[in-house]
Structure 1
């Protein structure tokens, strides 16, 4: 009986946290984001990096879709405090590298401390805007973003920068979940990416959490080759 009571108590606390997020934090964050067009505050980013999320959406599952191989260069845009970063780095290996780019210095400071504690040698952090990514052109094999693209006001400018740093055979993987205040429908994100010269190659998941993988469209590659 005490064990059953403890289990029920744990589930009760989990339910309370989820309800608090949906009823209080989610609407307030959504309203502030719509009015200010600013990124999520640091406390929200830290809040979502928790064991419950890790259980519901294991980072390994999303990184499977990113398709990272040993030796690859990966850019994670909006890594937060590293929920997916370390798994990406593990798969890239010491011969590969992960560039974690975030506009919020406070978030990068937290991630830097985690990197130092983990003694991770193949992760580099950058405080930078999605409009001015501090990486060379055609240098990255994989770009991944989770709950990030809808937060960016000028999506075409950001996607243009991502296209610039991607190798011709590289890919962009996006994920969105219904719990995010800036959630957009799958067809909306596909439209944004197509307008920026990407073509959809894979689509997984449901309306609650979906993953999309894109490559630069052949038409766009031909246009760039013709211009150059």
Structure 2
């Protein structure tokens, strides 16, 4: 069980700056290419953990379609507000935005096919709590896709493997793909 200490979000200014930087980055980087690397073929329920301004949330919601569901989870109120506004603008009804103040998402046990951790690891204070929560919500043999951002690929792999909860099945470029081990 996770210790639910309250976590502090970054400042509003830092969130707005991050959003602006992502917009600039996305002008030269094709996010849709990254989506091709994510195993979405048989996925219906996705969690974008640390969703930020929704760079991946919205495209994934379109890919899983109306039969799918995307949970956009973040600690920052502006992230949740941004996701809700963008989803409404694009008439996406399969997104549920969840504001958290701990690693606990409140999502039902073993109900998720895939968790995305896109450029989130550098902001995490307690990897064990994070990965315990991800393992709890993932279905048996559910996937976790990590875009490690500023964390070295070897360090990302080490973090995931050290939990003992996942098998790393691929490390390539800036991404790590892992599958959940059996639940106890």
TM tier, smaller:
0.7 to 0.9
Would the aligned equivalents of 1:198 and 1:215 in 2 still touch at CA under 8 Å? yes
Mean CA deviation greater in 187-196 or 124-133 = 124-133
- In structure 2, which of residues 160, 163, 167 is the aligned counterpart of residue 199 of structure 1? 167
1:164 is aligned, of 101, 126, 136, to: 136
- Of 19, 25, 29 in structure 2, the residue corresponding to residue 46 of structure 1 is 19
Greater relative contact order, per chain length (Cα 8 Å cut-off, separation 6+): 2
Secondary structure class of the residue paired with 1:153: coil
Residue number in structure 2 paired with 1:145: 117
| Root-mean-square deviation (Å) | 1.8
Equivalent position of 1:64 in the other structure: 36
Question: Closer, same or farther in 2 for the Cα pair 1:129/1:64, shift >3 Å?
Answer: farther
Aligned match of 2:77: 105
Q: So what's the TM-score if we normalise by structure 1?
A: 0.71
What secondary structure is seen at the aligned counterpart in 2 of 1:54?
A: helix
SS of the residue 2:125 aligns to: coil
2:99 is the counterpart of 1:127: yes
Q: How does 1:5-44 map to 2 (within 5 A)?
A: 39=10, 41-44=14-17
Aligned-residue offset at 1:49: 3.0
The alignment covers a number of residue pairs equal to 174
The 2-side partners of 1:160 and 1:57 are apart by 32
Whose helix fraction is larger, Structure 1's or Structure 2's?
Answer: 1
Aligned counterpart, 2:155: 188
Bigger shift: residues 132-141 or 104-113: 104-113
Is 1:215 the counterpart of 2:179 in the alignment?
A: yes
Q: Secondary structure at the match of 2:151?
A: coil
Q: 1:38 to 1:123 in 2, by over 3 A?
A: closer
Q: Which runs of 5+ in 1 are unaligned?
A: 1-36, 178-182
Residues 114-146 of structure 1: CA deviation (Å, up to 9, x unaligned): 111111111110001452111011000010011
Q: Does 1:81 align with 2:45?
A: no
Shift of 1:69: 3.1
| Other structure's SS at 2:98 match | strand
Q: Provide the TM-score with structure 2 as the length reference.
A: 0.87
Deviation at 1:38, TM superposition (A): 5.4
Whole-Å separation in 1 of the counterparts to 2:125 and 2:47: 20
Q: Distance in 2 between matches of 1:202 and 1:66?
A: 11
1:45 Cα shift? 2.6
